[in-house]
Structure 1
């Protein structure tokens, strides 16, 4: 019976609003520079596309260069995250932003000098690989800060919701800013702005040492912590490839659909409503005190994402496509928020930044592959065919998630139990042992 010693009553989860979250001492000291530094993340791909299309006259070359940048970022980003866990965020950010500025400068010089295509690809690879992983580092700072403060589980869920909404906002504003600068001045200036924001925001973020998590210094004989050692992290990275395919397929397919409809200027509006739906859902999702376990919520939101994507290819006009895109977008942010909440519980303290970057990198890789496949389908079968990429990518992701969902259960320490009598994750060697069960509650509902 509820309330008996054998069946303890389960307290209602606390609800933490955004106001309470943003009043966390020290939060704004890293949130403001983090926004400036992550805005270029959404500017780089389009900036590369516009510059190389302008200098070399080929959408194919420009699109491939943008894809090379995204793939390099997806593969190298997690290694940057691992170094940040090991040596500290400041030690990694300062050289990273310097390399990025030099790489973007080299790309601009090569493009304006009409360099061979292979030279452009090398420069775009370097530019993508050196994008600072600000979003992952900001999430890691929230984990460290809220763990140290003994915050309730719902506060971490709200923090991840805030970060996902911020990501969505930058993906709406970033491309618009890059396109506006390229149109008003020239494409090279757009990339110069991207590099300047990366350097200024990245260095300002790195300077906030008080909110940075302590480096994980391994003791002699200790095994090296790796995020990918967790099967759950590998599963989440795989299913986030499907989320990335939605972004890539939508970007290319919406552009082709609006051009075929004779309204190319509507591209930004249609995609903006799609992203706006995700932002709205993310805001609302972060305000709810969820009782369901995070892995169950992930299954539900991912299934809704598949349903939303399945209608896009059949839309006959721009109005219906815009409405379908809005409903598709509503499932994006809840899926991302829940995935980031889960991954925090699956790895040890010395691998959290790396784990977050694997998810972010998977999205970028899925975006690049999705955009290329959608382009091929559009060339061969028309604009609507490109919308098959999101439903195929998320469909495969959902099948994988359902089949392997048991991998998302966090490891437990013997004898550790939560408030409701369920096992709680306690990471061996964690400096925040006392706070770990509280924050893991964010993933358990």
Structure 2
């Protein structure tokens, strides 16, 4: 824990970490809130899955573009404009009675305008701490973001039940605005400028670490989305029980990230950590009892933040600084496609076979991710005793004072 405390005492780190988590808090609320809202209004998990899939697709398609634009226009202008658009679009989806196909179109627009805060932060971290502290910082970030998934589902279900599902969505918009303003006014955001990438758009996808991180991240997050849909369907949206189960799942990830974050990363680390995720989900299939699901998903969660840490560290250590924002965005796009796949397939499975089937879908996604990580082991870098800072660009990087 001393390592994490030393990192938090580094000037600017605590504010950036906390503010970007606040700005990203809606990511732990929007999917579940819309799942509850659309199922309540249209009485169909398949319809909810379709809208969530459209939202995820929009972000997956446009996320790398908005992230790359930060190297052209700067971090602040891009994030401000996207927050404005997504806030307006999400509110329209809730305020007006619209057919499903219109909600899907608006979901696509909302996804396309999600602020690229995570790629910006991942790109900034190597400029904020020494390279020796990057792995613990990535782990701390991955662990801390689990607060989003611990508090987010509980808060969403509580507000949706006690007030309305629409109120839960409006609350998420509030986090976008307040958290975004807090992050964007951080001094370090104004001092670090992401250089314009010299590679063509999509060129980073030729890098093995980007491909591995994108594919494994897609499968990992698809398992989350399927679990979320399954837990909500099993326990219903008439109480906070589903939120508590999902919070315990995220608590396991927080525990795993803090416990394993200081460990060096080998080429086999991703496979081992994905196996923990898959094993817990596989065991969760055998019962829909609250305590059984909670314990098994806690075990599964222990591997989540450590697995995400590997994805982030692999990219940081193998790409140029000017390429990392776009690379993180492609990884994010893969994860968002995973959200869409997991939500849509789980929704169809729930309607066809019942809620418990969604947990099996989640286990299959996680198991496939483990196999993919094992197959990719020869191309996974061994980062033990290695500088994790991005490869320097060939020209000076402007830093405003």
TM-score when normalising by structure 2:
0.88
Q: Determine if contact 1:77/1:358 at 8 Å carries over to the other structure.
A: yes
In structure 1, the residue matched to 2:334 is 362
Instruction: Name the SS of the counterpart of 1:182 in structure 2.
Output: helix
1:208 CA displacement: 2.5
CA distance in 1, matches of 2:218, 2:199: 29
CA distance in 1, matches of 2:390, 2:113: 34
CA distance in 1, matches of 2:313, 2:368: 22
1:197-276 equivalent positions in 2, closer than 5 A: 197-211=175-189, 213-217=192-196, 222-224=198-200, 226-258=203-235, 265-276=240-251
CA distance in 1, matches of 2:371, 2:44: 38
Q: 1:245 to 1:115 in 2, by over 3 A?
A: closer
1:19 CA displacement: 0.9
CA distance in 1, matches of 2:293, 2:235: 10
1:80 CA displacement: 1.7
1:228 CA displacement: 1.8
CA distance in 1, matches of 2:388, 2:227: 41
Q: 1:217 to 1:325 in 2, by over 3 A?
A: closer
CA distance in 1, matches of 2:241, 2:168: 22
Is 1:116 paired with 2:110? Answer: no
Q: Determine if contact 1:40/1:194 at 8 Å carries over to the other structure.
A: yes
In structure 2, the residue matched to 1:429 is 394
In structure 2, the residue matched to 1:336 is 308
In structure 1, the residue matched to 2:151 is 173
Q: Determine if contact 2:319/2:390 at 8 Å carries over to the other structure.
A: no
In structure 2, the residue matched to 1:415 is none
Q: Determine if contact 2:321/2:391 at 8 Å carries over to the other structure.
A: no
Q: Determine if contact 1:26/1:211 at 8 Å carries over to the other structure.
A: no
Q: Of 83, 92, 107, which residue of structure 1 is paired with 2:69?
A: 83
In structure 2, the residue matched to 1:133 is 116
Q: Determine if contact 2:126/2:390 at 8 Å carries over to the other structure.
A: no
1:93 CA displacement: 0.7
Aligned length: 395
Is 1:161 paired with 2:139? Answer: yes
Is 1:282 paired with 2:260? Answer: no
Is 1:143 paired with 2:126? Answer: yes
1:280 CA displacement: 0.7
1:157 CA displacement: 1.0
Is 1:398 paired with 2:370? Answer: yes
Is 1:315 paired with 2:274? Answer: no
Q: Determine if contact 2:49/2:340 at 8 Å carries over to the other structure.
A: no
Q: 1:387 to 1:49 in 2, by over 3 A?
A: closer
Q: 1:348 to 1:129 in 2, by over 3 A?
A: same
Is 1:107 paired with 2:93? Answer: yes
1:62 CA displacement: 2.8
Q: 1:51 to 1:430 in 2, by over 3 A?
A: farther
1:243 CA displacement: 0.6
Q: 1:312 to 1:184 in 2, by over 3 A?
A: closer
Structure 1 regions of 5+ residues with no counterpart?
1-14, 412-417, 433-445
CA deviation string 1:82-140 (max 9, x = no partner)? 21234321121111111112212322233xxx222222212222122212122232222
Q: Determine if contact 2:252/2:302 at 8 Å carries over to the other structure.
A: yes
Q: Of 1, 13, 18, which residue of structure 2 is paired with 1:32?
A: 18
Instruction: Name the SS of the counterpart of 1:242 in structure 2.
Output: helix
Instruction: Name the SS of the counterpart of 2:145 in structure 1.
Output: helix
Q: 1:423 to 1:308 in 2, by over 3 A?
A: closer
Q: 1:380 to 1:50 in 2, by over 3 A?
A: closer
Q: Determine if contact 2:252/2:298 at 8 Å carries over to the other structure.
A: yes
Q: 1:407 to 1:57 in 2, by over 3 A?
A: same
Instruction: Name the SS of the counterpart of 2:231 in structure 1.
Output: helix
Q: Determine if contact 2:153/2:244 at 8 Å carries over to the other structure.
A: no
Bigger Rg over Cα: 1
In structure 2, the residue matched to 1:47 is 33
Structure 2 regions of 5+ residues with no counterpart?
none
CA deviation string 1:324-376 (max 9, x = no partner)? 11111111111111111111123211121222222233223212212222233
CA distance in 2, matches of 1:62, 1:406: 39
Instruction: Name the SS of the counterpart of 2:178 in structure 1.
Output: helix
Q: Determine if contact 2:45/2:347 at 8 Å carries over to the other structure.
A: no
Instruction: Name the SS of the counterpart of 1:294 in structure 2.
Output: coil
